[in-house]
Structure 1
């Protein structure tokens, strides 16, 4: 464009103002889109221990703030848009089985044709943003009547495109927030506490290695072990005193011996106490080789 066009004294001011207003409207909508996209990228996949979660979230928010729209769209398409039949693996938790670890992951599932169309449309949105920000005045001579008319029509179409993307993204973010809210509500329930602390799933099944009762038996073992074995009566008396809510009945068992059997985390033996004239039950944690053998045995 000739430099004289920028210096023309008789430019169509009213048309220019309309173009300026519509260009501003497009850019504001793009910024709204970018803010939502940063939130989705930052919050849709958070994992770590309870003590780490806040720091992980803050770091992801700070990282997203520094990303360009093109980079954010790339992250969206690569990490957060999933094919409907795609099986995704969760992040690997720490090796320490005793450590609590959480992951919240939100994905938008699309079929193959939707995924391809969405990916193409998002690339076109980035191109449109770059055109509006960097090349608009090179494309349209808004110091002339015809240039303003062409620019006006282009901006109307551009806003419609941007707004469509914004509404779609807003729906995704609302879905993510609803999932986060549901998760937060569930985490306040007794059902979640049972799942987290005691390893008891809502259907009543028990994750024995993560269960509270097994942790208590391990703790008693570390206190009262004699030559590698722990007297079960001594352990259960201590557990009843220190952790009265940890009872076999809570886990669908009628006795502590059934807990030992169902959990498959311990060995057990019966020893005759000649002094008292009765039998005693002792237990110990499974050795690693025994545990591995049980896992591979049919």
Structure 2
């Protein structure tokens, strides 16, 4: 698998503050890599260095294995949304993209219609940009990124400010670009739950340092599931559970709630068992520790060092 982005001891200081501490990091071809961190963790700074908006203080990086003079060629294979692109409010999508096509020297005019179809805006020919919903504006931003047929998209907080429907649209679009067009995606957000359903890899950043780097599989293993029960008689329920499962791990919480950490696959049996023994089960659900909780745990752990 080829490497698209590679950094070597990449560092950025603003005055005395080191916003990116020496960073060795790579994004591989085909990944949807999520960079996750609180605001101010260094996400946008890293993206701005990669796009050439700001220069690193030390270290270097390569795009598609190229650096130095060859970097300009490599950049043409990248599409960046670092800040919301500035579109003309009175222009339609086609007029806006035609302006940028000419400005960026994209040869074929038909590419405009192709990208509008890819992002699902082909039926909005007459609508002016100012009448777009937030989700449509983001999709046009991605269409602009796609004009030059890039192999990799770098998207800084593209779902920020979107409603649930807008987030879902962008998520489906990015998955489609990754799976059908084989576009590698490097995306940042502080809304973790959204990236949980999108990314194939999760990189957690705090104060300019990568504190964890997980594949989707490792994350799922860490996001252990548990059973949560609300019962009429916690004491009786505890006895039944201990009698039936020798190695059961559970906690009795306030408000007659019990959480069971293992035997999740026997959830139906556990529910039936309690009901058969006369326990009223008011609530029964399986919940996973989500990415948000995992990340908060990670950040807290680090700040206690």
TM-score category (smaller protein)? under 0.3
Bigger relative CO (Cα 8 Å, ≥ 6 apart): 2
* Greater C-alpha radius of gyration: 1
TM-score (normalised: structure 1): 0.26
Q: Which has the higher strand share?
A: 2
The structure that is helix-richer by fraction is 1
